């Protein structure tokens, strides 16, 4: 591994100053599970590593009925999974965090680090986009707040500008009429990185849905909102035929990637099947009846 200087600021302002001073020679260290691997493989060779580990305010998870949920960027996935606030008010997110990677990673890696690293083969981004999350970002010009759907840009690319630090994730107050379901597909039972995942949220209106959000991740360079299927599902009573048609629309709109873990055609079919299942399950239907 390339030698580097390890710095541990005690305030966010100090961390921002260090990034501004060292510019391209510096990188941010959160949980380190991805960064250390990248540095060992010489994919990243920073001269300065700025650790956020002593910024304890960025580890908190808080909730209010009016404001919703705030997760500090340094909260670990295990912290999110075990949080009673998340389990009670945002069970979909708690489930995603509990199933991410493996216990070692869940208890070391941070949710903010996961989002900033922007590896396509992960779970939180598509889930958070479907839940209408926003992120808060601190930088030289102050703090800004943007939707999660615009934060994820491309392969290992986010909307962070030079010298900025992701500080938190915000979720709106829970709506008792809003459903949320999530599915991920692993290539093998022993593998922890999904080749595709699908996140669905919608608001129940009688036997129909509105405000539908359907997001595909891991199969694409960055999470992709399935706008055609969202429009098709909105205002429509959900049946098995409707679920199958929504899945077909997703397969048509999807722009999947090809790599050593699965080509585009494979991922398209995986996402089609996962979409059919998740829509049927969310509506309380037996998706197996559409398997033929």
Contacts 24+ apart (CB under 8 A), 42-48: 42/2, 45/2, 46/4, 47/4, 47/5, 47/22, 48/4, 48/5, 48/7, 48/18, 48/22
The CATH number that domain 187-290 falls under is 3.30.390.50
In the chain, residues under CATH classification 3.30.390.50 are 187-290
In the chain, residues under CATH classification 3.30.465.10 are 56-171
CATH assignment of 56-171, given 3.90.1490.10, 3.40.50.720, 3.30.465.10, 1.20.1250.20?
A: 3.30.465.10
pLDDT digits (tens, 9 = 90+) for 3-36: 999 999 999 999 999 999 999 999 999 999 999 9
pLDDT digits (tens, 9 = 90+) for 176-211: 999 999 999 998 877 889 999 999 999 999 889 999
- Taking all residues of the chain, what is their mean pLDDT, rounded to a whole number? 95
What pLDDT score was predicted for residue 291?
Answer: 53
DSSP-derived 3-state class of residue 239: coil
- Per CATH, which fold does 5-51 belong to? 3.30.43
What pLDDT score was predicted for residue 289?
Answer: 64
Q: Does the pTM exceed 0.85?
A: yes
- Contact yes or no for 16/140 (Cβ under 8 A): yes
What pLDDT score was predicted for residue 1?
Answer: 72
What pLDDT score was predicted for residue 288?
Answer: 78
pLDDT digits (tens, 9 = 90+) for 214-267: 999 999 999 999 999 999 999 999 999 999 999 999 999 999 999 989 999 999
């Amino acid at each position: 591994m390339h030698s580097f200087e390890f710095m541990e600021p005690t305030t966010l302002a100090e961390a921002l100053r260090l990034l501004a001073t060292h510019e391209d020679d510096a990188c941010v260290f959160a949980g380190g599970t991805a960064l250390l691997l990248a540095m060992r493989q010489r994919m990243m060779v920073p001269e300065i590593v700025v650790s956020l580990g002593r910024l304890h305010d960025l580890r908190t998870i808080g909730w209010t009925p009016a404001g919703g949920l705030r997760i500090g960027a340094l909260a670990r996935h295990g912290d999110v999974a075990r949080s009673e606030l998340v389990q009670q008010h945002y069970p979909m997110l708690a489930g995603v965090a509990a199933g991410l990677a493996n216990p070692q990673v869940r208890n070391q890696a941070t949710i903010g680090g996961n989002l900033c690293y922007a590896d396509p083969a992960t779970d939180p981004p598509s889930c958070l986009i479907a839940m209408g999350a926003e992120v808060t970002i601190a930088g030289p010009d102050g703090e800004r707040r943007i939707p999660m759907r615009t934060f994820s840009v491309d392969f290992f690319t986010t909307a962070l500008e030079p010298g900025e630090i992701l500080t938190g994730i915000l979720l709106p107050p829970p709506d008792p009429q809003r459903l949320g379901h999530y599915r991920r597909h692993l290539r093998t039972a022993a593998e922890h990185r999904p080749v595709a995942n699908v996140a669905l949220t919608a608001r129940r209106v009688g036997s129909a849905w509105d405000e539908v959000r359907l997001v595909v991740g891991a199969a694409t360079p960055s999470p992709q909102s399935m706008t055609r299927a969202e429009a098709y599902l909105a205002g429509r009573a959900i049946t098995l035929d409707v679920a199958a048609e929504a899945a077909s629309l997703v397969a048509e709109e999807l722009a999947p990637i090809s790599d050593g873990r699965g080509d585009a055609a494979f991922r398209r079919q995986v996402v089609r099947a996962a979409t059919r299942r998740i829509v049927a399950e969310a509506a309380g239907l037996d998706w197996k009846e559409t398997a033929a």
